[in-house]
């Protein structure tokens, strides 16, 4: 079931259930657990995301020293009230930076779907929780939607930068976040599908080119584009805008692009930003230390 989004959408429509319920039942079936056990585990995931956000101070730096403190900078800038993006999106940017920095600085995070892309999903959910009275139930439902989307992409394409480039990591995280947002706004299963399709189309081809092979540059800031992309795609889908290419076809295309992507652009630090003069300089400096 978790190998086609269209199948989940059809199943939800035919059986008059919501997208998240289809995913929940699939989990209960696959892991042989009760509804309560599954939801308790999902709550653990959510609590870990909240804790990771609360524990961010902006004081820690990564191994290379290239990452740390930008989430705090963004929060302080937002407080001045003159940011271009506005309230919610400003907070999304700050949260995405903070969470991704926490990962780079060896703090505790939730891989979603990977550690490098861990900032995207919480970045769109946490600020919404602060601004609106969302129930715990609503959040858990959104997380089931996100996990179902990620599972389908993992099955049909890839969620690893080493096999599919950054589109597979940040792209998938972005699709998961977009679906979660649509679900929170009570969009239909079909609208979730359109949001996922739009999200993946907009990040297709993104390469994985980390400086010195570390989950730092450009990974931290790419979490921001993943989150922003999710917000715009969710709003488009909720406005009734549809993807002209069906969602499963988009996922398959993303998988195809990943497979044909040169190895230099798949986490090997042999291309893109990793081989810029500055990227190489970082490498030399770290080798000396």
Q: Does 257 bind other proteins (CB under 8 A)?
A: no
Say which residues have a Cβ less than 8 Å from residue 224's Cβ, sequence separation at least 6. 92, 93, 96, 97, 119, 123
**Is the peptide bond between 199 and the residue preceding it cis, with omega within 30 degrees of 0?**
no
Instruction: Supply the DSSP symbol for 171.
Output: I
Min dist. Cβ of residue 86 to other proteins (A): 28
Determine which helix (DSSP H) or strand (DSSP E) holds 102, and give its type and residue range: helix 87-104
Q: Contact between 112 and other proteins (CB under 8 A)?
A: yes
Q: Rounded to the nearest 10 degrees, what angle do helices 87-104 and 35-54 cross at?
A: 90
| Nearer CB in complex with other proteins: 60/246 | 60
Tokens of 32: 């042989």
User: Does 147 participate in binding other proteins (rule CB under 8 A)?
Assistant: yes
Token pair of 148, please?
Answer: 């179902």
Q: How far is the CB of 135 from other proteins (least distance, A)?
A: 19
DSSP-derived letter for residue 1 is -
Nearer to other proteins by Cβ, of 45 and 72: the residue is 45
Q: How far is CA 138 from CA 46, 111, 195, 233, in A?
A: 12, 21, 19, 20
CA distance 148 to 219: 24
Max alpha carbon distance in the chain (Å)? 62
**What's the token pair of residue 89?**
């999106």
Smallest separation (angstroms) from other proteins to the CB of 281: 15
- Residue 144 engages other proteins in binding (rule: CB under 8 A): yes
Q: Which stretch binds other proteins (CB under 8 A): 22-30, 84-92, 242-250, 252-260?
A: 22-30
Single out the segment in contact with other proteins by CB under 8 A; choices: 99-107, 183-191, 243-251, 270-278: 99-107
**57 scored as a contact of other proteins (CB under 8 A):** no
User: Does 103 interact with other proteins (rule: CB under 8 A)?
Assistant: yes
Interaction residues for other proteins, span 27-56 (CB under 8 A): 27, 30-31, 41-42, 44-45, 47-48, 51
Encoded tokens for 12: 């939800």
The only residue of 123, 159, 182, 230 in contact with other proteins, by rule CB under 8 A: 159
Say how far apart CA 135 and CA 164 lie, in whole Å: 36
* Out of 35, 108, 186, 259, the residue judged to bind other proteins by CB under 8 A: 108
Among 22, 104, 124, 184, interactor with other proteins by CB under 8 A: 104
To the nearest whole angstrom, how small is the minimum distance from the Cβ of residue 133 to other proteins? 22
Distance of CA 169 to the CA centre of its chain: 7
Measured CA angle at 43 (ends 39, 44), to 5 deg: 120
The count of residues interacting with other proteins (CB under 8 A) is 53
Q: According to the binding rule CB under 8 A, does residue 138 interact with other proteins?
A: no
Binding track, positions 160-199, relative to other proteins; x by CB under 8 A: x-x-------------x-----------------------
263 contributes a contact to other proteins by CB under 8 A: no
Q: Would you say 144 and 24 are in contact if contact means Cβ atoms under 8 Å apart? A: yes
Q: Are 145 and 179 in contact (CB under 8 A)?
A: yes
Site residues (CB under 8 A) for other proteins? Answer: 2, 23, 26-27, 30-31, 41-42, 44-45, 47-48, 51, 62-64, 102-116, 118, 121, 143-144, 146-148, 150-151, 154-155, 159-160, 162, 176, 212-216, 269, 286
């Amino acid at each position: 079931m978790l190998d086609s989004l269209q199948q989940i959408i059809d199943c939800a429509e035919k059986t008059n259930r919501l997208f998240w319920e289809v995913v929940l039942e699939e989990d209960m079936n696959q892991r042989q657990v009760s509804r309560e056990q599954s939801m308790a585990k999902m709550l653990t995931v959510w609590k870990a995301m909240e804790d990771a956000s609360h524990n961010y101070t902006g004081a820690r730096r990564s191994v290379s020293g290239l990452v740390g403190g930008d989430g705090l900078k963004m929060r302080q800038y937002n407080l001045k009230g003159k940011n271009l993006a506005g309230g919610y999106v400003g907070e999304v940017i700050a949260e995405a930076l903070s969470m991704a920095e926490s990962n780079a600085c060896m703090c505790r995070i939730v891989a979603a779907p990977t550690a490098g892309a861990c900032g995207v999903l919480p970045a769109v959910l946490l600020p919404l929780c602060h601004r609106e009275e969302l129930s715990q139930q609503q959040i858990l439902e959104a997380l089931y939607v996100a996990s179902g989307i990620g599972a389908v992409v993992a099955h049909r394409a890839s969620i690893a930068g080493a096999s599919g480039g950054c589109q597979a990591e940040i792209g998938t995280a972005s699709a998961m976040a977009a679906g979660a947002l649509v679900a929170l706004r009570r969009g239909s299963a079909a609208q979730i599908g359109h949001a996922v399709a739009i999200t993946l189309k907009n990040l297709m081809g993104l390469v994985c080119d980390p400086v010195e092979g570390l989950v730092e540059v450009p990974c931290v800031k790419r979490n921001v584009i993943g989150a922003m992309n999710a917000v715009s795609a969710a709003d488009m889908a909720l406005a009734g805008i549809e993807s002209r290419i069906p969602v499963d076809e988009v996922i398959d295309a993303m998988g195809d692009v990943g497979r044909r992507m040169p190895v230099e652009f798949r986490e090997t630090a042999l291309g893109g930003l990793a081989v810029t003069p500055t990227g190489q300089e970082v490498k030399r400096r770290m080798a000396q230390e």
